[in-house]
Amino acid sequence: MKSALSILLVLAFAFTAPAQNQDWQSFMNQSAYQRFAVMQDQEQPEPDSAVVTVTAAEIKSPGKAALFSALLPGAGQFYNESYWQAGICLAIEALSWTAWAMYDKKGDDIKAEFRQFADTHWIEADYWTWISDRSGLTYDPDSTAAMNALRAWEQKNYSHGLHKQKDQQYYEMIGKYDQFNYGWDDSDIGLNEPGWSKSLRSTRRLHYEDRRYDSNRAYKNANWGITLVLLNHILSAAQAAFVSKRHNDRLAVNLNVEPRLIDNRLYSCLKLRLAW
C-alpha cells in the first residue's frame, strides 16, 4: 500500500514539475492540472493577460451627466466623452437662442412701427365725434362729465370700450373691431351714415392689421425658439444620463481567464469582476 502511494506521488511530481518552468499559456495547453477558480485579485496579472480592470475613473455618474446637460446642453455628453454628441447639443442651443433673439427683436421693431403708424393715422377725436353724433351727447375732451357720459354710452351699445391709456389692448382694439373704424383718417364712411360693415374698413386700418399680424407672428417664432431651448435641455440631460448608465452597464461584469499560482501550482483561473 505504501509503495503504491509512493508511486502515485512520484507520478504527480513528474506531471506538475514542468509547469513550474513553463509560461502559463503552455501550461494551460499541456498540463493535466487545468482547473478553474473564482478568487480575489492577489497580484498583478501578466502583461499579456486578458483581464480588464475597471477603475473608479471609468465609472460615469448618470446624475452628474444629467445635471451638467440640464445646465448646459452638451456638457453631460462631454463628461461622457461623446464629443460629437456634445457638439450637436451645443449647436442646437446656440441656434435656438439666436432664433429667439432675432425674432423677438423683429417683433419689437414691427410693434414700434405699427404703434407709430396708429398714433399718426388713428384720430381719437374723430372717433369720439362719431360716438357723440350717434348718441346725441356732447363731445368735450376738456369736460370729465361729458367724456364719462360718452364712455358709458359706448359701453352700453358696443362690445368694447376705448382704453384711456395707450396700452396693448388700446392698440389691438382700434384695428380689430369695426366700431373704431371711424377713427382712421382715411375712413370713407360719413359721420352720419349708419353702415360700417367690414367691407368699408379703411385702407390704413387694413395695413395696420397686417403689421400687427406680422409682429405677433415674429413673437410666436421667438416662442418656438425658447421652446426648443427647453426641449434641448431636457432631452440632452436624459440622453447624457442614458449613455452614462449604458457605459456603466458594460463595465459592470467582466469574466476573464488568467493564470494564478495557488499552493505553488499554476492554474487557469476564471475571474469575475463586478462593479456598481
Q: How many CB atoms lie within 10 A of CB 243?
A: 20
Reading the block at residue 30, the C-alpha cell is: 499541456
Q: What is the DSSP letter of 82?
A: -
Q: Could you read off the pLDDT of 23-41 as tens digits, one per residue?
A: 545 544 444 434 444 343 4
> pLDDT value at position 264?
75
Q: How far apart are CA 82 and CA 69, in angstroms?
A: 12
Q: Which residues of the chain have pLDDT under 70?
A: 1-57, 188-201, 252-257, 270-276
On whether the CB atoms of residues 246 and 234 are closer than 8 A, the answer is no
255 lies in a domain? no
251 lies in a domain? no
> pLDDT value at position 148?
94
- What phi and psi values does residue 268 have, to the nearest 5 degrees? -85, 115
Give the DSSP H or E segment for 22. Answer: none
Helix boundaries (H) for 158-260: 168-176, 203-252
Number of domains the chain is built from:
1
Reading the block at residue 273, the C-alpha cell is: 469582476
236 lies in a domain? no
Q: How many CB atoms lie within 10 A of CB 167?
A: 9
143 lies in a domain? yes
141 lies in a domain? yes
> pLDDT value at position 253?
58
173 lies in a domain? yes
Q: What is the DSSP letter of 198?
A: G
Q: Report the Cα–Cα distance between both ends of the chain, in Å, rounded.
A: 54
Reading the block at residue 160, the C-alpha cell is: 368694447
**What domain range is 133 assigned to?**
123-183
10 lies in a domain? no
Can you give the pTM of this predicted structure? 0.64
217 lies in a domain? no
Q: How far apart are CA 158 and CA 133, in angstroms?
A: 15
Mark 193-214 as b/e (b = at least 16 C-beta within 10 Å): eeebeeeebbebbeebbebbeb
